[in-house]
Amino acid sequence: MGGAHHFIDAQGEERSLLAALDGRIKLVLLLAALGVNLTAGGIRTPLALAILALLLVVAAGVPARDFFKRMAIPTMLALVAFVTQLFWVRQGEPLLSFTLFSWDFVFTSGGVERGSELSARILGGMGTLLFFSLTTPLPELMRAARFFRCPPVLVELALIMYRYIFLFLEEGARIRNAQKSRLGYVDFRNVLRSSGILGGMLILRTYDRAEATFAAMRCRGYRGALTVAVGNPLQGRDWIALGAGLGLLGILFAMR
C-alpha cells in the first residue's frame, strides 16, 4: 500500500501537528468547510479554500505533487463544468457568437459567471476533502466515525475495503504482468481474451481471500463486530485548532 496514507501512518508519534490532530475535530472542520464552500457563492471563497487546503497539506508534510496528482481529475471535471455552462446558460450580455455545423452558439456573461462559480466550488470542495484524506490516518477517521454514532457495519466495511482494495490492485497487476510476459496483449483479440481471464481470476481469488480472511478473524475471536479503540479525550490543542479553524472559515465566508 503506497501513497500519502502510508506516509502519514508511518510517521507515528513524530507526525506533524496537522496530521496528529484529533479526527473528531477534523471531521467537524471538514463539514463546516464544505458548508462554507456550498453556501458562500462567488468564486473567491471556494478558490481560497482550495489554496488553503494546498498550503495545509504541504505544512502537514505531504509532498505537493501528491496533492496536484489527486486534483488532476477534479480539475478536468471543473473544466468540463465550465465549458458546459457556456453552452447551456443564456443570460446576461453576449460575449461571443459563432456558427458551427449550422448550429448557432452564443456565449454570455451569465454562462461565464455560472461556469466559473461551479468550477470554483468543485476545486474548493475537492481540495478540502483531499486535505482531510491526506492528513488523517484511516484508524483515526474510523474512531471519529464511531464517536459520531456511525453504524458499526459501515465502519467495518470501510476498514476492510481500505485494507483489501490495495491487495487486489497488486494481485491484478501481478496477473496482468504475467499475461504480458506471455504475449497476452499483443493484439485486440488477445486483449479481450486476457482481460476476461484477468477478471475471472480476480473474482475467484477475491472469494478465496474472503473465506480465508473470515476464517482467520473467527480464529482470533471475531463474533460479528470489530473491536475499535476508544478515542482519547480532546486536548487543549484540539480545542484551539477547532476555534482557529472555525474562525478562519468565518473570515472566508465573510469575504465572499
Q: What does pTM read for this prediction? A: 0.70
pLDDT at 155: 79
Domain spans of the chain, in order of start = 13-136+233-255, 145-220
SS3 content of the chain, % helix, strand, coil (to 5): 75, 5, 20
pLDDT at 2: 45
pLDDT at 105: 80
Q: What count of Cα atoms within 13 Å lies in the side-chain half-sphere of residue 71?
A: 24
Q: What count of Cα atoms within 13 Å lies in the side-chain half-sphere of residue 48?
A: 18
pLDDT at 36: 92
Cα 120 to Cα 44: distance, rounded to the nearest angstrom: 8
Can you tell me whether residue 105 is helix, strand or coil?
strand
At 100, list the grid cell. Answer: 458551427
Tens of pLDDT along the chain (256 residues)?
444 445 445 444 455 666 677 888 888 898 999 999 988 878 889 999 999 999 988 888 888 888 898 899 999 999 999 999 888 888 888 888 777 777 778 888 888 999 999 999 999 999 998 888 888 877 777 788 878 887 878 877 877 887 788 888 888 889 889 888 888 888 888 888 888 999 898 888 888 888 888 888 888 877 766 666 666 777 788 888 888 889 988 888 887 7
Can you tell me whether residue 103 is helix, strand or coil?
strand
